[in-house]
Structure 1
Amino acid sequence: TLSASVASVPGVYNVGSGSSSSFNDVISRLNKALGLALDPEYFENPYSFYQNVTQADISKSREKLCYEPRFDLQHGIDDYVKWLLKSGES
Structure 2
Amino acid sequence: MTKNDKLDELSKALFGWVEEDEDNRSVMLIAGDEESVRNAYRGSRSNLVESLANAMLKDKKLRSMCARALALCERNKENDNDED
TM-score after normalising by structure 1 = 0.28
More strand by share: 2
